Each structure stands twice: as C-alpha cells, then as structure tokens.
Amino acid sequence: TGNFPPASCYFSEILNLTAFAAFVVGILRYFQVKTKLDKRWLNIFSLVCFSVACFGMTIVGNFQLLEMWVIHNGGTLLAFGLGNLYCWLQSYITWKVNLNNQGKVFAIGRVVLSAAITFCIILQRVLVVIPHMHTVRCQWAVVMLFLIYISTFAIDFRHCRFEVVCRDTPLNLTPSLVSVREQRSHIVKRNY
C-alpha cells in the first residue's frame, strides 16, 4: 500500500519527518560528545554517516518501490547501511566516553541493538531471493530497531542542557572587545 496514493503520501510524510527528527538527534549527539572524545574524527565521521543515512530515508519515502525501484533501493542502502554503521560507531563512542560512569552499561545495550540490526539486514538480503513476506518483515524489524536505538539517546540527553542563543549583531563585523565582554556578561546573567 505504500506505493499508491494516499498511503504513499502518508508514508513519504512520515519518513521525511522521521528523517528530520533523527537528524536533529544526531546533531545533538555530536555536540554532546564533541569535547569528550579523544578521536574527534570519529565523531565527525559518525555524524556524516548518519546525515547521509537520514537523506537515504527521505529517498526511500519519496521514491516509491514500484515506480523507481533503483532509486528507492539506493535510498534503502544508504539508510540501512550507513545507519547500521552509525549504530556501531555510536556504540563504540558510548563505551569510550562513558558519560556519568553509565556509558559502559548503555554501550552493551547499544551493541546488542546494533548486532540485531546487522542480523536483520543480513537476513533480509538472504531472503530477498525468495519472494516472501519475510523480507518485508526483516525491513520493518530493522526500522523498529533503529527507532529503539535512536530513542536510547534520551538516556544520555537527560544529563545535558542544549540551548540556542540568537542575538542581533551590529553591521560592524569587527565588534570591539568591550562590546564582546558586555554581550558575554549579559548572556551569563540571563542564564542564572
């Protein structure tokens, strides 16, 4: 039913919103461990993988299987392949960063989820030669496991405070040191 309107329209909209929300979670996770990881390139590579995986998710949603199967399957490869790599990288990062001395426990759970995702992807590729509903079930299992994996970041985010600061800047692109200090002191006073 995801190939024909109106179900394809709902499917596209849901996947686009999910990809955007997942991308935001990926950005927040990047900033959360940015200063705590000694291998910064790993955090950047992880974010790039997840960003491309989210883009692949939008491709899956917007190009229906029966109409443009090559593009749809390319999006599936991006979403599942790089998404799975992201899960393994984040499991490792969780282990190394060990936020609030709870990272090693959460890393074990994320490794189990990553292994389950990998198993379902491999099983789906093996079963694709047999035209049966088991391949679709494996795909949906991967999607559900991804959602569970992404939701585990809520545990880590409970210890963080993210805030966006938006302020007007004068047209003069080189503010004086005094005005920069005044802006900083004003921000510090507002936060406390």
Rounded CA separation 126/168 (Å): 56
Give the pLDDT of residue 44: 96
Exposed e or buried b for every residue in 127-157, given b needs 16+ CB within 10 A?
A: beeeeeeebeebbebbbebbeebbebbeebe
Residue-wise pLDDT for 156-172, tens only, equals: 888 788 888 888 776 65
Please determine, for residue 179, whether its predicted confidence score (pLDDT) is greater than 80. Answer: no
Torsion on CA atoms 31, 29, 47, 94, rounded to nearest 10: 110
User: The dihedral of CA 176, 179, 181, 187: what is its sign?
Assistant: negative
Average pLDDT over residues 1-25: 87
For 133, half-sphere exposure in the C-beta direction (CA atoms, 13 angstrom radius) is 0
